[in-house]
């Protein structure tokens, strides 16, 4: 009997979708069979196919947003922005492909030409996360297809329905079924796909722990591309800000957007000790006004539930752990229902805490650290093995310049939230936040490899050194 994977709505607990668990080897084989035809098509052909995909998603936008909202628990307004990002990714990827991987020709020696072109890797596996179940895997899939790869996509086991609809949109647009394969399943299917000898690379978005395990695994196969987009323990520094209402709004957006389930969400608020209380008061006012409700509520909520009950319970347990280490709660993490994963946003002062953990708490928890001066603020911002996003709110350009120069992160913002990274720019981090394979606009870089050719229409060659002046019979050679 076939194994069935079931998806449930976090907001209600109702069953949303079910499907048979797939087989990684079979999906990889199907993608391998389709590779020659898809990669043999012209780039123009693949561009037009992907534009049809964008139109297909556009035609299903309302239904797709409704599905994402139900399956993730995020508000409907936010799900609509995710669908818009899926659509917009096509044109951005086409622009990036032209800019990052164009054919180039230059003059070489002896009348030859030097040509640089790019080839697809082959069959690429894509492992998607649950927080953006369409947009983030799509950010790998579209540039991979554009470069001529075929793809086996395994959605998160927590959001398989959104992944299935995404793949159905590719197929409905006329992209061959073999070019984009859907692998439904859980952790075991993901491990099987990553270990399958038939893949030529893996593109992953998810936790730092899973990324580290993949890095160890792929160290044994250095000929396969591995692109890791991981999480962060992201700082937002507020220093000398005068517009407290705007600053508080930026902090709240940074920390609590998507119920804190964004890899770019601020986890640490760093403020000047003694000057912090007016800002804290403004942040608390906003926290107390945040609507936490189901995705289709009216008025629309700012955040919905986290992804599932187990995640909510783990977060509550970790918040208690922060208090046990000496954290002073300003607003507690509250789970208002015993049977549904809703959480109210939390703010906790960790200045006096001992042994602060350097980890990504993937939920609506913001830890505040008070520091005596800006040197200490920089040191605290860098007090992490992660390096994804960082932001500073200040009216002093010199402080931003220093912040930019000294802070380790792949996204560094000034007077903007930490989660303000545009798709038209590269996106990635350093340290435990990635492996120097930035995605978004730079995804083209890891979806194809460069090939250098020295070309001439006639054979021209000579040996200038190391030869005798004329032929000498063998008997006369010294």
Q: In what order do the strands lie in the sheet with 225-229?
A: 180-182, 150-154, 123-127, 201-205, 225-229
Q: Which domain CATH number covers 156?
A: 3.40.605.10
Look up residue 173 and give its two tokens: 């647009």
Strands (E), 218-350: 225-229, 234-238, 266-272, 328-331, 346-349
Spatial distance between the Cα atoms of 103 and 45, rounded to a whole number of angstroms? 17
225, 239: one domain: no
Residue 90, domain member (yes or no): yes
Q: Which of 169, 168, 159, 167 is nearest to 74 (CA)?
A: 159
245, 306: one domain: yes
206, 301: one domain: no
The domain of 79 spans: 4-230+434-455
14, 154: one domain: yes
224, 261: one domain: no
90, 191: one domain: yes
Residue 291, domain member (yes or no): yes
Query: Is 169 assigned a catalytic role?
Result: no
Residue 275, domain member (yes or no): yes
Alpha-carbon distances, residue 210 vs 217, 220, 296, 356 (angstroms)? 11, 16, 32, 22
Whole-number pLDDT of residue 464: 86
Tell me whether residue 20 is exposed, middle or buried, using C-beta atoms within 10 angstroms of its C-beta: 0 to 12, 13 to 18, 19 or more: exposed
Reported pTM: 0.95
- Of these residues, 169, 263, 265, 447, which one is catalytic? 263
Query: Is 177 assigned a catalytic role?
Result: no
Q: Do the beta carbons of residue 183 and residue 195 sit within 8 Å?
A: no
Spatial distance between the Cα atoms of 301 and 290, rounded to a whole number of angstroms? 7
Residue 464, domain member (yes or no): no
Residue 97, domain member (yes or no): yes
Residue 461, domain member (yes or no): no
Whole-number pLDDT of residue 476: 63
Angle at 359 between CA 373 and CA 74, to 5 degrees: 105
Q: Which of 389, 390, 474 is nearest to 438 (CA)?
A: 389
Whole-number pLDDT of residue 478: 58
Look up residue 18 and give its two tokens: 């079910």
Return the H-helix or E-strand segment holding 171: helix 160-172
Whole-number pLDDT of residue 83: 98
Q: Which residues, given as ranges, of the chain have pLDDT below 70?
A: 471-478
Look up residue 395 and give its two tokens: 């009216």
- Of these residues, 9, 82, 229, 272, which one is catalytic? 229
Whole-number pLDDT of residue 111: 77
Spatial distance between the Cα atoms of 21 and 5, rounded to a whole number of angstroms? 6
Alpha-carbon distances, residue 421 vs 335, 416, 439 (angstroms)? 30, 10, 11
Q: How many domains does the chain have?
A: 2
90, 61: one domain: yes
370, 306: one domain: yes
Q: Which domain CATH number covers 377?
A: 3.40.309.10
221, 349: one domain: no
Whole-number pLDDT of residue 471: 66
Spatial distance between the Cα atoms of 244 and 293, rounded to a whole number of angstroms? 27
């Amino acid at each position: 009997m076939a194994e069935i994977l079931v998806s449930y709505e976090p907001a209600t607990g109702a069953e949303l979708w079910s499907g048979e668990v797939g087989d990684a080897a079979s999906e990889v084989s199907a993608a391998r069979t389709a590779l020659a035809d898809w990669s043999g098509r012209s780039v123009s052909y693949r561009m037009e196919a992907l534009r049809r995909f964008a139109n297909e998603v556009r035609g299903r936008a309302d239904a797709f947003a409704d599905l994402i909202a139900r399956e993730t628990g995020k508000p409907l307004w936010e799900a609509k922005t995710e669908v818009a990002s899926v659509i917009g990714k096509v044109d951005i990827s086409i622009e990036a492909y032209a800019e990052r991987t164009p054919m180039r020709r230059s003059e070489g020696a002896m009348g030859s030409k030097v040509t640089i072109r790019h080839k697809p890797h082959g069959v690429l596996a894509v492992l998607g996360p649950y927080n953006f179940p369409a947009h983030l895997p799509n950010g790998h899939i579209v540039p991979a297809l554009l470069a001529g790869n075929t793809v086996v996509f395994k959605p998160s086991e927590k959001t398989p329905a959104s992944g299935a609809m995404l793949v159905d949109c590719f197929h409905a647009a006329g992209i061959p079924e073999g070019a984009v394969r859907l692998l439904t399943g859980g952790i075991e299917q993901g491990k099987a796909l990553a270990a399958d000898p038939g893949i030529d690379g893996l593109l992953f978005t998810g936790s730092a722990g899973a990324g580290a395990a993949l890095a160890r695994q792929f160290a044994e196969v250095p000929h396969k591309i591995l692109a890791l987009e991981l999480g962060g323990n992201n700082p937002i520094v507020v220093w000398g800000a005068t517009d407290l209402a705007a600053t508080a709004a930026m902090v709240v957006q940074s920390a609590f957007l998507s119920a804190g389930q964004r890899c770019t969400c601020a986890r640490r608020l760093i403020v000047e000790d003694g000057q912090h209380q007016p800002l804290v008061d403004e942040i608390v006012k906003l926290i107390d006004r945040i609507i936490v409700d189901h995705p289709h509520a009216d008025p629309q909520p700012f955040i919905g539930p986290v992804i599932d009950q187990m995640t909510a319970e783990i977060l509550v347990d970790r918040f208690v752990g922060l208090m046990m280490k000496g954290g002073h709660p300003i607003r507690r993490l509250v789970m208002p229902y015993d049977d549904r994963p809703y959480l109210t946003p939390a703010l906790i002062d960790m200045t006096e805490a001992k042994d602060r953990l350097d980890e990504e708490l993937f939920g609506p928890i913001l830890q505040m650290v008070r520091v005596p001066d800006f040197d200490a603020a920089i040191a605290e911002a860098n007090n992490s093995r992660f390096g994804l996003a960082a932001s500073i709110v200040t009216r002093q350009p010199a402080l931003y310049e220093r912040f930019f120069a000294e802070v380790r992160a792949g996204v560094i913002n000034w007077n903007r939230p930490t989660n303000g990274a545009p798709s038209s720019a590269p996106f990635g981090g350093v340290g435990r936040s990635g492996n120097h394979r930035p995605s978004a606009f730079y995804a083209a870089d890891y979806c194809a490899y460069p090939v250098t050719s020295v070309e001439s229409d006639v054979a021209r060659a000579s040996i200038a050194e190391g030869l005798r002046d004329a032929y000498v019979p063998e008997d006369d050679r010294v």
